[in-house]
């Protein structure tokens, strides 16, 4: 009785998390839908509806108190990368045939289902593959080559010149990552925030990852709440027009204010904590701002767009769009505990100490 | 739906007027609930009472469900009065938790070990220490009387969310859900239904490792909790939980206390992400030494 069902809830493929989450978001992908069925469309946006849609505009349902109704469980998995790969430069939307090839390439990289690395690599790949969300292996139905829609090249804009302090902090972080990847982390704080179970993909922007790409949206009069499955923090968003928290009250997930612009839910988030890794790709939490727009464009689809701006990090704002697809209500959200059974953090640290004892990792 | 028992009304002047002292549905109103004048909560479109809001308990049961005197808390030589814990009265109906004789030793052991941790062996990971001490999700009902607010989000879907400030824990209440908990979890599997104006939540599938308080009161994986949330004023919910666990207790027992609506202008739930504060405690011994 004592050790029953310990396994199903926790667990984090740590090796993958480090690479795939916020540190190297260049490869991160999202979106789910049914690629084959979609007619070619020049505009990068929503997947085609299941039934041949009439030309009539979709009228989104409303809650009894009059807000556009976004309630439900939604999934944002896709293999389409955040940034357009150089192999697809100049091509924002693919033909059917090209899309098929692109999808296969991406799935190969994501699943690691291959035998070219010897037994040890094979075992590592198999472990990570166990967690793979099948929806994560398909590109978006609109066959885009990047989730980024602006700038037009599908790439994160260049950095502005960074202050010496920030350059130093980035170098420190890179050195810690190198130690971690070599199996030699010094202490817990050298690991990424997701590995430490502090924040995971529960912080905006929501980008697809290996698993737990579900989001349940709750609404009540005056509030929208987004509960990502990736960790148990619910993001409670007031819609009553109140001001942001004071400048000295900063949070891991920032502070979000929402409003409806027609049928679009517009979320503005500021007040991020200054801790390393809290905002996207080492941007500057003090000047970082993210604006998300959620529009229900069909019964089963939300168009999720986000714009990130930080004039002390990037030369210009940039925007990405990820379709969210409603999942069968029978497919429930489950609790994602993380810290409670974070065995890996001990394994990684004690493994590193063992390696040191054996004389590994000496410079 | 509005037939809850009319018990007493407190006149403005302080005079107490008894109005139709019915006991027919008295089960719906706990003894504490009877302290409030009759009340009918505002409704949502589906006709059920609107429980939305930011709520908080003000009992000190997280220290000890039973009567407890004021105490210094750990390490007064470091923490002084900052570390002190307030006194509090029992919230247990009848005043005593009905432990099985054989189960009491474990409670005492928990108390002695509440601030010890050892995560060097996966299999013994949870053997020592109060889960709160380690920043673990607190389980139900403890989450309700942690000294932090929680928000109830009730809309027009078949799900009600409760989001707690402590450790950013949350749980989904599935209304009229049929079937058992699919697996164990820290916050359990919550199935809700309405009984008149009371939201009744049946919670099973809780991990056995959660505790009820810092005093080491505990349960097994057979824990079954039935919670009742009843609006008794625009600013109060009466909370009641019946706790059943035949492995540990001789009979079901009950706790109850009011929840208060947080009323500050623009008040909102903030973050209490305590994980970083436990890293040295849990993992420091595996750190590289110079």
User: Residue B190's closest CA among B172, B212, B176, B166?
Assistant: B172
The answer to whether residue A5 scores a pLDDT higher than 80 is: no
Which residues on chain A are in Cβ contact (under 8 Å) with B122?
343, 346
pLDDT band at B14 (very low <50, low <70, confident <90, very high): very low
Supply the pLDDT for residue B115.
97
Q: Which residues contact A13 (CB under 8 A, 6 or more apart)?
A: A127, A128, A130, A131, A210
CB contact under 8 A, A216 and B288: no
Q: How many CB atoms lie within 10 A of CB B105?
A: 10
Q: Report, as an integer, the average pLDDT of B168-193.
A: 96
Q: Is the peptide bond before B141 cis (omega within 30 degrees of 0)?
A: yes
A69 in contact with B at a CB cutoff of 8 Å?
A: yes
The two tokens of residue A173 are: 């972080």
Q: CA A166 to CA B167: how far, in whole Å?
A: 30
Other CB atoms within a 10 A radius of the CB of residue B183 amount to 16
pLDDT in tens, A263-304: 999 999 999 999 989 999 889 999 999 999 999 999 999 999
| Confidence check: pLDDT of A122 > 90 | no
Alpha-carbon distances, residue A149 vs A22, A146, A218, B92 (angstroms):
19, 7, 28, 59
Chain mean pLDDT for chain B: 90
Is the model more confident about B2 or about A171?
A171
Measured between CB atoms, does B204 come within 8 Å of chain A? no
Which residue has tokens 């750990």? Answer: B74
Given the structure tokens 């108190």, which residue do they identify? A65
Rounded Cα distance, A296 and A71, in Å: 10
DSSP single-letter state for residue B150:
E
**Rg of chain A on CA atoms, in Å:** 21
- How many CB pairs below 8 Å do chains A and B form together? 149
Q: Which residue has the higher pLDDT, A39 or A326?
A: A326
Nearest CA in chain A to B284: A187
User: How confident is the model at residue B37, as a pLDDT?
Assistant: 94
In Å, how far is B121's CA from the nearest CA of chain A? 9
Looking at residues B69-88, what average pLDDT do you find? 97
Q: Residues A142-166: what's their mean pLDDT?
A: 97
Run of H or E including A294: strand A289-298
- With a cut of 90, say whether residue A31 has pLDDT above it: no
Number of Cα atoms under 13 Å in the Cβ half of residue A170 = 15
3-class DSSP state of A278: coil
Contact A187 B268 (CB under 8 A): no
A222-255 pLDDT, tens digit per residue, is 999 999 999 999 999 999 999 999 999 999 999 9
Rounded to the nearest angstrom, the minimum Cα separation between A160 and chain B is 31
Which has the closest alpha carbon to A287: A324, A261, A250? A250
Confidence band of A57 (pLDDT split at 50, 70, 90): confident
Q: DSSP string spanning B63-99?
A: T-SS-B--B--S-HHHHGGGG-B--B---BTTS---B
- At A328 the pLDDT is 86
**pLDDT over 90, % of chain A:** 71
Of the two residues B9 and B272, the one the predictor is more confident about is B272
Does residue A2 register a pLDDT over 70?
no
Q: What pTM, to 2 d.p., does this model score?
A: 0.87
Q: Is residue A96 scored above 90 in pLDDT?
A: yes
d(CA B147, CA B59): 8
Residues of B in contact with A220 (CB under 8 A): 52, 153-155
Q: What pLDDT, on the 0 to 100 scale, is given for residue B25?
A: 40
- Confidence label for A52 from pLDDT (cuts 50, 70 and 90): low
pLDDT at A4 > cutoff 80: no
Structure-block tokens of residue B149: 């607010």
For residue A90, what pLDDT is reported? 95
Distance from C-alpha of A69 to C-alpha of A76, rounded to nearest angstrom: 18
Give contacts of B208 with chain A, Cβ < 8 Å: 2
**DSSP letter (8 states) at residue A233:** -
Cα–Cα nearest to A39, from A110, A119, A143: A143
Q: What is the pLDDT of residue B44?
A: 97
pLDDT-based confidence at residue A54 (cuts at 50, 70, 90):
low
Say whether B100 sits in a helix, a strand or coil: coil
| pLDDT computed for residue A14 by the predictor | 39
Instruction: Report whether B164 contacts B245 (CB < 8 A).
Output: no
Is the pLDDT assigned to residue B254 strictly greater than 70?
Answer: yes
Nearest to B258 by CA among B274, B290, B236: B236
B-chain residues near A69 (CB < 8 A) = 156
Task: Determine the Cα–Cα distance for residues A185 and A85; give it in Å rounded to an integer.
Answer: 31
Q: What percent of chain B has pLDDT over 90?
A: 87
State the ipTM, two decimals: 0.89
Give me the residue from A2, A251, A350 closest to B271, CB to CB. Answer: A251
Sorted by sequence, the CB contacts under 8 Å of residue B214 that are 6+ apart come out as B62, B63, B64, B114, B130, B132, B133
Peptide bond into A151 cis (omega under 30): yes
How do B189-195 and B170-175 pair as beta strands? parallel
**pLDDT of res. B34:** 79
* Per-residue pLDDT at B131: 98
Residue B47's CB is within 10 A of a number of other CB atoms, namely: 8
Taking the C-alpha atoms of residue B106 and residue B136, their distance in angstroms, rounded to an integer, is 20
For A305-339, write each residue's pLDDT tens digit. 999 999 999 999 999 999 999 998 778 899 999 99
Confidence of residue A362 (pLDDT cuts 50, 70, 90): low
| Whether B74 contacts B175, CB under 8 Å | no
Number of Cα atoms under 13 Å in the Cβ half of residue B146? 24
Integer angstrom CA distances of residue A81 from A42, A194, A222, A330, B99 = 18, 20, 35, 29, 57
**Position A13 pLDDT exceeds 70:** no
Test A225 with B159 for CB contact under 8 angstroms. Answer: no
The pair of structure tokens assigned to B29 is 């109103």
Q: Give the mean model confidence (pLDDT) for residues A151-162.
A: 97
Distance in Å, alpha carbon of A269 to nearest chain B alpha carbon: 14
State yes or no: pLDDT of B21 exceeds 50. Answer: no
Confidence of residue A55 (pLDDT cuts 50, 70, 90): low
């Amino acid at each position: 009785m004592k050790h029953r069902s310990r396994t199903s809830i926790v667990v984090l493929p740590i090796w993958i998390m480090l690479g795939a989450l916020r540190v190297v978001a260049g490869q991160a992908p999202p979106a789910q839908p049914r690629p084959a069925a979609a007619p070619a469309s020049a505009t990068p946006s929503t997947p085609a509806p299941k039934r041949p849609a009439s030309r009539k505009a979709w009228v989104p349902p409303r809650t009894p108190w009059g807000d556009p109704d976004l309630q439900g469980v939604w999934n944002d998995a896709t293999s389409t990368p955040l940034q357009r790969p150089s192999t697809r430069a100049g091509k924002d939307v693919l033909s059917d045939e090209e899309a098929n090839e692109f999808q296969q390439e991406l799935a190969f990289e994501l699943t690691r289902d291959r035998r070219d690395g010897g037994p040890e690599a094979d075992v590592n790949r198999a472990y990570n593959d166990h967690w793979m969300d099948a929806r994560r292996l398909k590109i978006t139905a609109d066959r885009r080559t990047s989730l980024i829609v602006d700038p037009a090249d599908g790439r994160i804009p260049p950095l502005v010149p960074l202050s010496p302090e920030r350059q130093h902090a980035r170098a420190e972080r890179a050195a810690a990552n190198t130690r971690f990847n070599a199996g030699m982390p010094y202490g817990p704080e050298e690991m990424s925030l997701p590995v430490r179970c502090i924040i995971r993909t529960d912080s905006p922007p929501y980008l697809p990852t290996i698993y737990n790409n579900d989001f349940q949206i709750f609404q009540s009069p005056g509030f929208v709440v987004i509960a990502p499955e990736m960790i148990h923090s619910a993001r409670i968003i007031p819609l009553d027009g109140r001001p942001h928290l004071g400048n000295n009250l900063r949070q891991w997930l920032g502070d979000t204010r929402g409003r409806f612009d027609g049928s679009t839910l517009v979320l503005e988030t500021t007040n991020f904590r200054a801790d390393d890794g809290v905002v996207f790709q080492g941007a500057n939490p003090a000047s970082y701002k993210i604006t998300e727009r959620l529009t229900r464009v069909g019964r089963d689809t939300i168009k999720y767009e986000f714009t990130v701006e930080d004039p002390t990090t990037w030369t210009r704002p940039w925007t990405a769009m990820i379709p969210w697809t409603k999942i069968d209500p029978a497919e429930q959200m489950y609790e994602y505990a993380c810290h409670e059974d974070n065995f890996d953090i001990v394994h990684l640290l004690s493994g590193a100490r063992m390696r040191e004892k054996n004389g590994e990792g000496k410079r | 739906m509005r037939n809850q028992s009319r018990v007493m009304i407190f006149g403005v002047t302080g005079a107490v007027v008894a109005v139709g002292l019915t006991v027919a549905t008295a089960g719906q109103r706990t003894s504490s609930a009877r302290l409030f004048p009759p009340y009918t909560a505002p409704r949502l479109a589906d006709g059920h009472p609107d429980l939305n809001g930011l709520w908080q308990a003000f009992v000190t049961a997280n220290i000890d469900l039973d009567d407890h005197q004021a105490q210094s808390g750990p390490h007064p030589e470091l923490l002084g009065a900052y570390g002190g814990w307030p006194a509090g009265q029992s919230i247990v109906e009848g005043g005593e938790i009905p432990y099985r004789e054989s189960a009491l030793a474990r409670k005492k052991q928990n108390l002695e070990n509440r601030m010890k941790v050892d995560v060097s062996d996966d299999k013994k990971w949870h053997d020592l220490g109060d889960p709160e001490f380690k920043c673990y999700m607190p389980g139900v009902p403890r989450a309700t009387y942690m000294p932090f607010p929680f928000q109830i989000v009730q809309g027009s879907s078949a799900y009600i969310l409760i989001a707690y400030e402590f450790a950013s824990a949350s749980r989904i209440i599935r209304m009229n859900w049929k079937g058992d908990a699919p697996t164990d979890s820290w916050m359990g599997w919550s199935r809700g239904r309405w009984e008149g104006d009371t939201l009744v939540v049946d919670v099973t599938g809780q991990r056995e490792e959660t505790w009820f308080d810092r005093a080491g009161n505990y349960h097994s994986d057979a824990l079954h909790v039935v919670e009742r949330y009843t609006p008794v004023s625009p600013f109060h919910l009466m909370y009641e939980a019946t706790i059943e666990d035949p492995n540990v207790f001789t009979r079901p027992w009950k706790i109850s206390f009011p929840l208060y609506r947080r009323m500050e202008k623009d008040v909102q739930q903030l973050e209490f992400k305590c994980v970083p504060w436990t890293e040295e405690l849990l993992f420091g011994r595996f750190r590289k030494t110079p």
